[in-house]
Structures are given as structure tokens and as C-alpha cells.
Structure 1
């Protein structure tokens, strides 16, 4: 079977049988284009011809030239984490082909990903979060009310940006729900739902946006039940959410490389700093494993060391 046909079959399987998200499918598609181009360069016209050394060579090639479609020269090498993610896609493809009986062996099974260094999440201090939120609500336009509500939701719930822009009006607590019972329903990875408490600041910002701004935006298009709308009245995109936080960061005099994920990191870090149990934070973040959440405990320990070094008379 030609690599192009095999790859298309695997991606169709992920879409129909596995129900992977559009973002994951897009990433895998990009990885597969790299892989297909590399196999073509090596003269491999049938996936049954792929050997372990071909997969290992592809991984090494990723780390040196990062091949894209057509393997344009001068491309920057992929990081260890990006190369490891690409290898995961390649492994998934060959495991699928083996299970489907297209091939007799899995050439990617024994290829090991590059070591990925443990990188601590980036979080900003509480006062910086407050400056960022204030900077998002400059003026009294529909867009400024929306931007403030969006950032309040990201920080108050620790939502991923895709979860925040995917919110519908029905995912919010009604106006008559007592504050201590107010939760927002987030749709996470794999279609897994979770309920996260919604604090008074976020609820107030959402209320101001829904009452005073959303109807004006909705009148311009067909956003349907979407909570956050763009200027054309359609559901706000992930890219637009990124632009919102970067614009607010610029106004607040903060690093303009901040992303919506920065608020998710800050949400987790500030909860742990405040004494929250790591398993509670795991549930709030929607992590499948507590191991993923535990990286945030390293951040708080680092902060404790900083405070100790600055405050204790015998620290030096």
C-alpha cells in the first residue's frame, strides 16, 4: 500500500472511530506530511517496505532539518518535544497498519523518542494577572466586555483556550443559581466533561458581557449558542483568543508572549500556593493523571526556595 493511501486511512480511522479533536487531527496531518515526504525521498513506495532503520533515520532527520512538505532546505530543526510528538504519530500509523493486516511487522515499535527535558510551566504573579484583566477591559465596547469576560473565565477556571471558546450559553450557571453552587461545564480532551466552580469576579464579568455586549455582536451574524462571539457574530476562534491576551499583555506592560495557557498555568500554581490539594487541582484542570499535574508542585517549591532565600537570615 502506498504511504499516502495508508496515511489517509489512518487519519480517517482517527476521525471516525477514535473521534480525535480537530486540533489533534491537524497536528497528526502535519506530522504525516513530513513522514510521507521523507519516505518518498528514500524511494519507499510501499509501507510494507519501511524498516526500523527508516523510522530511526526519520527521527534523526527531524532533529537536524525538520522536513516539511517537499523538505525545503534551511528549515529549523524540531525540538525534542516536537520530534517526540511526531514519533508518536508515526507509531500510531504503523500500529494501525499492523492491526489492520496491511503489514506484518511494526517498524516503529522499538524506536525511542528523544529525551525531553522537564520544563516548568510559566505562571505570572497574582498582581500581574490583575493588571492583565484590567487591561483587557479598556473602554466600554462590546469587544472590551467580551475580552474581560474571556480572560476572567480562563483564569477563574483554568480552562484550555479550546474549552473556553467552545463554551455555549447553556454551559453557564443560571442567574438564580446561588454563588456557592455556580459551576461552568467544560468539554475537555476526548470529549470528557468536567464541572469547575465559577467565582464571583468571572460571573460578574460574564453577566456584563452577556447582557450588554453579546446581543450586539450576535446581531451581526449567526453565532448560535456560542458564548464568546467575534465582531462578525460568529464563535470566537482560538487564534482570536490568543490575540486578545497578547493585546491585553501589551497594554499592561507584560511579556507579550503570554498565551491563554499562561492563565491556565497561573490558575494551577496559585491554587497550590494557596494550599489546594494536588488531586483537586488535577480534577479542576481535567488531567487524566495526577503525574501531569505534579509538575506544578515543582513551581511552588521553586517559589518557596525564592522566599526562603530572600527572607531567612541564615539562608545565605
Structure 2
């Protein structure tokens, strides 16, 4: 089983070109399932069947795992059994019969537009005094809110990924899919101040071409960005406690409320499926209700 798991890890890296984070998550889920199978007395991947997979999923459920967790882990195991069947390790694919609960999709918390203005205007005033950390934080928050990029995408940006003339940033998203995302004038100003005045103050030899750098001079990490976003939002009265993903939700919500169509928001966020984007349609209910009252003869 260990040998098969290592072969699968190499498959994800070399053939599927998955990110390090994705590979670690998939291999971890499959490893947990194989350990469960071993406790049931199985020693070979070829012995896996639907009863083993269902038993493993049931054990997770009894331990109180969320439906979203069960759905994700079941999906990871289905990918593994499909690969094992394709490579001849399994005579049939038991994962094809494995059902999992649909993840409950809670509506994301978002900033009110006024909260976003308070956050960004306050940072702009702080950055105007020339503090390089404030300049960096201002540019990061403007870009997160302007583009809706993921925090992993943000920290991976290099200087040459920003096109100030066209006001677009080139982003490498999930599955290594590349997309160009526009940003507005406030983000343009914040980025210009950061790259011309703030970044030279912080960047060390380890920074390379990184757009955003940390206080130690190297490329800033996701954890540092998350901590910064939470801290900056705590300073805004009555604003929800959000991280970078909350700003992504807020960007999508406000763009939809402003009249954008769902396909445009899908492109903005880099979702492979529009089904993922549809969670944001809740924000248009008030606008839809208003249009309904104005247009429907029996409203």
C-alpha cells in the first residue's frame, strides 16, 4: 500500500501537475483511507472494495467530521481508486460507487461597501506618511479587494505580473490556470507607491522578483498576509472578522451587486465551474426582488 501511495503521489506531481498543497491534501486523505483498510485486515490495494470505502467514510462521520470534509475526502479517494483501476492495481473501481454528502454551502460573510471604504481609506492615510509596511499592507488590501484573488495567488505574484499600463495583473490560479484580472485606480495608486517607495525599503537579497515582501526582506507568506488582514479589519468598527478569503467573497459580492453577470464573476475569481460561483447569487436577491416588483404584472 505504501508503494502504491508513493506512485500515486508521483502521478499527481508529474502527470497531473498538481500544486504541492493539493498533493499533500490528496495523499493525506488517501493515506488515512488505506490505514483504515489495514485496520480491517487488508494488506493490498487490490483488496479495496466499496464496503471498505463506506466503512472509512462512516468512521469519519461518527467522529463528527463536517459534510464538506466528508465530501472532499470522498472525492480524493475516488480519484485514487480511478487511478488504481487505470494502472491495474484494482480490477474494478469501487470509488465510482462511493456516494458522499453534498457539502453544506454557507453564505460567506462579506464586508459592507462602507466597511471596505473605511478600511482602505484609513490605510491610505497611514501609508501617506511613508511607512513601508503601511504602504505594503495598503497595496495588498487594495489588490485583494479589487481583484478577488486568492491569498496563494497574491503571494506568488512577481513584479512583472503587474501591467500598470492596462491595469491588469496576471495570476496563476488553481490547476496552474493563468488569468488576467483588472484592478482599479485606487489599487493602481497603492501599487505604484509600494513598488517605487515602499518595496525598496523592505526588499532584501532573498526577495527576487516578488511583488510583496515581508519584514525580513523575502517574499511574504500566506500566514503573514492572513494575520495582517485580520488585524487591519479589527480596527474597523463593526466590520466582520475576515481574512483574505473574506475579501475575495466581498469583491465577488460587490461586483455582482453592481450589475455584473455571473460569467464575468467566474472569470474574475478563476473558478473552473460556474457552479462554484453560484454561491454568490444570494447577494442579488434584493436586486432581483426590486426588478421583479418593477417588471412583473402580478408583483
| TM-score (norm. length: structure 2) | 0.90
Q: Structure 1 CA distance, aligned partners of 2:177 and 2:58?
A: 35
Q: Structure 1 CA distance, aligned partners of 2:239 and 2:43?
A: 48
Question: Which residue does the alignment assign to 1:173?
Answer: 163
1:111 pairs, out of 82, 94, 98, with 98
Question: Which residue does the alignment assign to 1:244?
Answer: 228
Question: Which residue does the alignment assign to 1:201?
Answer: 186
What SS class does the counterpart of residue 167 from structure 1 fall into? coil
1:302: Cα distance to partner? 5.3
Question: Which residue does the alignment assign to 1:155?
Answer: 145
Q: Structure 1 CA distance, aligned partners of 2:160 and 2:9?
A: 32
Q: Structure 1 CA distance, aligned partners of 2:43 and 2:241?
A: 43
Equivalent pairs counted in the alignment come to 291
1:56–1:238 distance in 2 versus 1, CA, 3 Å = same
Residue 168 of structure 2 contacts residue 181 of structure 2 at CA under 8 Å; is this kept in 1?
A: yes
Q: Structure 2 CA distance, aligned partners of 1:251 and 1:78?
A: 34
Deviations 1:117-143 (A, max 9, x none): 232232211111122324556464221
Residue 136 of structure 1 contacts residue 245 of structure 1 at CA under 8 Å; is this kept in 2?
A: no
| Larger mean Cα displacement after TM superposition, 294-303 or 257-266 | 294-303
2:70 pairs, out of 79, 83, 90, with 83
Q: Any gaps of 5 or more consecutive residues in structure 1? A: 66-76, 309-314
Question: Which residue does the alignment assign to 1:29?
Answer: 27
Residue 115 of structure 2 contacts residue 239 of structure 2 at CA under 8 Å; is this kept in 1?
A: no
Question: Which residue does the alignment assign to 2:209?
Answer: 225
1:271 aligned to 2:255?
yes
> What pairs with 1:1-316 in structure 2 (closer than 5 Å)?
3-65=1-63, 77-134=64-121, 136=123, 138=126, 140-174=130-164, 177=165, 181-219=166-204, 221-254=205-238, 257-301=241-285
What SS class does the counterpart of residue 186 from structure 1 fall into? strand
| TM-score (norm. length: structure 1) | 0.85
1:182: Cα distance to partner? 1.9
1:304: Cα distance to partner? 6.2
Q: Any gaps of 5 or more consecutive residues in structure 2? A: 293-298
Deviations 1:96-130 (A, max 9, x none): 11100112121221010113223223221111112
Note the aligned Cα RMSD (angstroms).
2.3
Q: Structure 2 CA distance, aligned partners of 1:31 and 1:126?
A: 39
